[in-house]
Chain A
Amino acid sequence: MWTSELSGAAITWAARTTTDAAGAAGGAFMHIPDGFLSTPVSLVLWVVAVLVVGVALVKVNRDMDEKRVPLMGVMAAAIFAGQMLNFAVTGGTSGHLLGAAIATALLGPWAAIVVMTCVVGTQAILFQDGGLLALGANLVNMAVIGVAVSYGVLSVVRRLLGNKRTGWLVGGLLAGWSSIFVASLACALQLALSGTSPANIALPAMGGIHALIGVGEALITAAALALVYVARRDVLERGEAAAGGRGLAVGGLVLAVLLVVLSPLASSHPDGLEWVAEEHGFLGSMLEAPFQLIADYVFPGIADERLATIAAGIIGVAVVLAVTWLAGSARRRRGSQGVA
């Protein structure tokens, strides 16, 4: 293990663990690096991120007392460190936490957006886990969509099941899973809009792999909430009191439903996505080729479009799983040789 007296060593260790674990669990596919999104898409998402985080900062500034700086600073560090906690899944791959759902439950949605912004931003700036220009997109996916969806799901489940332990458990499970799944759909759509990855391949592949990763997030989130429920119920109640925005909950749910409904549409009618892109002036707004979405693509070699989509999905998931497994076993081998 590591001698953790030196904080520098601990941070390097944290960096390596987060990137390695993310790579091994496929979570790296959520942190979009620079170069994979077209410039207009990146800039539009930056604007969205700045607007939402700006609103969140104003709300936090208004609703919380002067305790907010230490509270959110330390909680951001805790989420960051919490992402290191991993558990073995199989074949050297490991599952770990992203934390949007847990932050939402503990701090309320607006503070969670701010905290997740700090976490995702620091990962990009310090550890190149996600690009600088793509940071807007990553913030939108992980800090905004992740939190809004978690909040929406948590509110609905808790309204249905009440303020009991089951409510938090089921809420944690569903919020954890859907925050990952919906964020990955958003990520795939952004890649498709950038013309990097055709929608009929990116959506099933990203959605499929994150439907699996989301299970880990769901289990960890639910277990963590169960512990907090037993140990410090007042924290959960405080987080709920800090919530406030019903608009955000509704927004998160609408967003989730929209993305889930839109995705099969977009992947079976890639022309529809192209139409959206044209409508919003992505196409032709810049000089030439970089932003062209590929017309008429079905998976090469298969005539039936639905079959092709399914084939693309299966192949995508298989490829990702294979790479994940290889990365994981390579890492394990390295680890057992003591080089890591």
Chain B
Amino acid sequence: MDARVKLLLALALVLCISLMPVAAWPVYILLLALILSAAILSELRMRPLLRRSMVALPFALAALPLLLTVPGQTAVALRLGPLHLAVTVPGVERFASIVVRSWLSVQVAILLTATTQLPDLLVAMGQLHMPRLLVAILSLMWRYLAVLVDEAIRMMRARDARSASWSGRGGGTLAWRASVTGSMAGSLFLRGLERSERIHNAMLSRGYDGSIRGIAVPPLDWRSRLLVLLGLIVVLALLLFGYWVA
């Protein structure tokens, strides 16, 4: 499928999930079914998908106070010494909705990236009018990310080889450990800088004149357009259904 179609539909779906009202449970289940069936059709493995989709869960902590602060009927009353805590029903609904919607959005994002190569995604973003300079920088970054990650891994291996550590604690004081890491970061950036100079020279010697040229991408054909249209209709229908249910 065209990366542009996937990008557009993923963004529409995330926006739709964000606009969904609180406690529209039937629609949340529909959305989950939609996302999971798309994942199955894309032949993604379920376990890694579900495991990775938990990434955002720790952030639920930020919404935890909602349990207590949304006014409404009390569900559970807790007495902790001098504290009287009242968990309200609307509070639980708000909190659970936020967590579920966040989980669904993460799955959409995973679906997009698991089925689309970043270079294709970048071309699609360029087609959808992301600035060309940004696209060029991002593609160069992607190309050299593995190289610099390798460099960082080698540095950390060198540090591990030279300094004994004991169950999560390195030697020396905290400030010393931090400053060692800082020196590593500094030399990583200097190496990056020098590498970028060499890359620039290599680009110049191959005729680089300041603009990156790519293969021209044809406009979307009618089938892709139809697909986008249908997808948007489904998303809109889900949204209306959500407001009707809630």
> Which residues from chain A sit less than 8 Å from chain B, CB to CB?
1-2, 4, 7-8, 10-11, 13-14, 19, 23, 28-29, 32-39, 42, 53-54, 57, 60-61, 65-82, 84-92, 94-97, 102, 106, 114-115, 117-118, 121-122, 124-129, 131-133, 191, 196-198, 201-202, 206, 216, 219-228, 231-232, 235, 287-290, 294-295, 297, 300-302, 312, 319-320, 323, 327-328, 332, 336
Contacts and interface: CB of A to CB of B under 8 A. Distances in A.
B209 interface: yes
Contacts of A122: 138, 141-142
Given A73-B137, A74-B140, A228-B189, A87 B180 contact: yes
Contact of A75 (B113, B160, B168, B193): B193
A221 B186 CA distance: 8
A28 B59 contact: yes
A77 B99 CA distance: 32
A221 B157 CA distance: 21
B86 A88 contact: no
A197 B60 CA distance: 10
B144 A74 contact: yes
Contacts of B21: 287-290
Contacts of B189: 75, 78-79, 82, 102, 106, 224, 228
Nearest to A286: B19
Contacts of B152: 81-82, 84-85
Interface string B48-64: 00001101101101111
B102 A131 contact: yes
Contact of A33 (B56, B174, B187): B56
Closest 4 A/B residue pairs (Cβ): A223-B182, A73-B140, A35-B102, A78-B192
A102 B22 contact: no
B106 A23 contact: no
A19 B55 contact: yes
A327 B58 CA distance: 10
9 contacts: A33-B105, A34-B17, A76-B141, A95-B178, A133-B15, A198-B69, A221-B182, A223-B178, A232-B190
B153 A301 contact: no
Contacts of B59: 28-29, 32-33, 36
Interface residues of B, number: 106
A224 B50 CA distance: 38
B110 interface: yes
B110 A128 contact: yes
Query: Is chain A's interface secondary structure helix, strand, loop, or mixed overall?
Result: helix
A228 B186 contact: yes
Nearest to A117: B134
B186 A226 contact: yes
Given A54-B131, A131-B106, A132-B14, A300 B140 contact: no
B98 interface: yes
B73 interface: no
A87 to B, nearest CB: 4
A217 B137 CA distance: 25
Interface string B161-205: 000010111100011011111111111111111011101100100
B69 A294 contact: yes
Interface in B60-105: 61-66, 68-71, 82-86, 98-99, 101-105
B136 A69 contact: yes
Contacts of A202: 62, 65
A290 B136 contact: no
A89 B84 CA distance: 36
Contact of A197 (B62, B105, B121): B62
Interface string B125-144: 00000010110111111111
Contact of A35 (B17, B137, B177, B193): B17
B148 interface: yes
Contact of A78 (B63, B131, B148, B153): B148
Contacts of B82: 301-302
Contact of A224 (B104, B105, B136, B183): B183
A70 B200 contact: yes
A125 B7 CA distance: 11
A148 to B, nearest CB: 19
B155 interface: yes
A132 B109 contact: yes
B5 interface: no
B157 A1 contact: yes
B60 to A, nearest CB: 8
Contacts of A38: 18
A273 B196 CA distance: 46
Given A2-B153, A132-B109, A197 B63 contact: yes
Nearest to A319: B61
A216 B185 CA distance: 13
Given A34-B17, A294-B71, A301-B83, A227 B243 contact: no
A270 to B, nearest CB: 10
A81 B148 contact: yes
